[in-house]
Structure 1
Amino acid sequence: MTDFILGIDAGGTKTLGRLLHLASGRSWQLKMGSASLTNDYNNAAATLYQLISNLFEQARCTGDQVTVVAGVPGAGNLQLRKSLELHLAELCPQLWITTDAKTSVWGANNGQPVAVVALGTGSVGMRLEPNGEERQFGGWGFNIGDEGSGAILGKMAVREVLDEFDRSRGFASALAKAVTAVIGTDPANILGWLKHAAVNDFSRLAPLVLPLAANCPQAAKVFARYLKDVVELIDLTCLEVRLPIVILGGLAEGTIPHLPARIRQHIIPAAGTSVDGALLLAKKWRSGELEKTEPRL
């Protein structure tokens, strides 16, 4: 049986890892850049390899001493997950690559039943039911889904600003001024930005919307669309079952006050993070209490 457990929460903007020595309780933590299999597999593989290697070096341990669980966006794609497991197999033989939704739902309520909706660069709903079954909702990625995410909110903001330009041949609104400070005002520059814009580029525009929504009609329009998407994702995640709700992610704090009262009354603070969930899964897997499984879609 291994002496250490390592929990990893990868994401579209940052990746966090915590290595724990079970006997002493001593821990080592490290934060690195983005690691999403969907958005950039090669970057994700390199980031995770470096993070794990650096933590092993800090703790002066080897891979055969550690049980590793990593929650990674895009891990629902079996081909990408298997490829990543192969890439990391020599470094850490006891490895479980799963979705960041799974690690989040296990951390949010200390492994107890809960519905979790994550509003970050991407979006996903996940619930852990009283019978121990897990179900995932959404999380299909930026190209076809991720409604209620920072990336889609940023994309909607750009679209609204371009609609304003098409109507008036200018950028007069507060939202337009904020967005064009990033993407430019000349149509040729905007087209250049759009050609090279990645998921994270759109996501970085999301924080511009909420502060303007109270006084800028264009920002209010975009935020209302975003909020509708979030409510639909929460309702879908909680369909046919009543569970406490945890809202996670960088957009959570600014979104919760605007949710309907029927949803807010069931929201509880998160008991732990996705890293905590990964560590809990690692501990249970290490002891034989839990087998490697993936959520039912």
Structure 2
Amino acid sequence: AVDLIGNLRAAPRIALDVGGGAAFKVAPQLFKRLGCKVKTINEKPGEASRGPDPTYDRLQDLVRASKKSDIGFAFDLDGDRLVVVKDGRKQAPDVTLGLGIAKVLEMRYKKIVLSIDTSVAIEKFIREEGGRVKRSKVGEANVVDLMIKTNSQAGGEGSSAGFILPKFNMCRDGLLTSGLIASMVGTRQFNEIVRFMEGYFQLRSKVNVDSRFHKKTMKILLKKMERQFSEIITTDGVKSIIDEDSWALVRQSNTEHVIRISVESNNLNKVKSIKKQVSKLVKKSYEEARRSRNY
């Protein structure tokens, strides 16, 4: 990891929230070896002041510590996922992936796989830098599978804050990702990608749907969305491309009685409007599916 990360600028101050998990020892060791000044939070194994998933937790202790550091990183319990906190602000999970991707683009890696629910901001950034993007189904295994099939050099899933670099490890690796991101702190590229991604807004919600009606509901929904939106993708669920900066994705859950909705746009009012519109379509489709009694 140290060889891939390279030299860090001016011994940055790093705040780490290891969440009492697997990274409790190796994360501080990595950054100390890189010459950083390290403050560690929740370093006692099995004990933590926050929940196990940093993508959902407010990370209040790390938010405070980041105000006196150059950057903060929060790991999940097995250390494969990572959330970035900068200047007292917790960044969205997609920012983790975006920063990792920005670093490998700097390393001249151009073939990248993103899950279908990853921010369009990352895809636009990749293309602007001369990279090529393939979209996979949601889920780390699906991202990795497409990376292998297309011989891609990097990939990830924005919603889970997971970045994958095959040269190091063919799965998400929060430790490597944190080091790569730390090497960018204070650079023009770091500030540019964060600023660019902060211009996009994502909303996620779910509609309660009896799983017996999932397939029928999605079939009805597909027809409704085809009538309302000009571009539809069915790689995983139903995704509508509304314009170059806006999309909506609807997927059935495999484990719960719900259908999930993800929406993104670079306009906050628009993303709210799209979510409302798509939620209504899902509910209407479910009502029709129930009336048909055809599973």
TM-score, normalisation: structure 1: 0.31
With a CA cutoff of 8 Å and minimum separation of 6, indicate the structure with the bigger relative contact order.
1
TM-score, normalisation: structure 2: 0.31
Hey, which of these two has a bigger chunk of strand by percent?
Answer: 2
